[in-house]
Amino acid sequence: QVQLVESGGGLVQAGDSLRLSCAASGGIFSMYKMVWFRQAPGKEREFVAAISYSSSSITYYVESVKGRFTISRDNAKNTVYLQMNSLKPDDTAVYYCAASTAFAPLRVEANMNYWGKGTLVTVAS
């Protein structure tokens, strides 16, 4: 079984930066596609960013965060990161780390095999 634990959330001001971390245990980390989702209060969970297997490290982002967020992974540390710059109040949400072994679209929640419990990011205006 794979376990995912997020950290790095907190309260920041608009324009600030924050880096989220997701530590994984169990399984073979380098073979998992890693994904970040987020859920704002009263709204549905949405895809944020994803990174492919370590062999290619292809990345994907939702349009609203392109140019501001960067997803990366360190296979030696079994950790995936989400560097968030130029944060906006609209970025306020609980951010979830997820892992997938499926050959399927990574922006679809149902294609995720494992989930973390989430970390809260609050951006004040």
Which amino acid does the sequence have at 56?
A: S
User: What's the mean pLDDT in 120-124?
Assistant: 98
pLDDT value at position 30? 81
Position 43 scores a pLDDT of 95
Total number of residues shown for the chain: 125
> For residue 53, what pLDDT is reported?
79
> In whole numbers, what is the pLDDT of the chain averaged over residues?
93
Q: Give the whole-angstrom CA distance, residue 107 versus residue 50.
A: 8
Residue 102 has pLDDT above 90, yes or no: no
Region 69-96 average pLDDT? 96
pLDDT of residue 29: 82
- Radius of gyration of the chain measured on its C-alpha atoms: 14
Residue 65 is given by DSSP the state G
**Residue 123 CA, distance from chain mean position:** 17
**What is the distance, to the nearest Å, from the Cα of residue 63 to the centroid of all Cα atoms in its chain?**
15
Write phi, then psi, for 121 (nearest 5 degrees). -120, 125
At 16, is the secondary structure helix, strand, or coil?
coil
Using one digit for the tens of pLDDT, what is the confidence trace for 10-69? 999 999 999 999 999 988 788 899 999 999 999 999 999 999 876 678 899 999 999 999
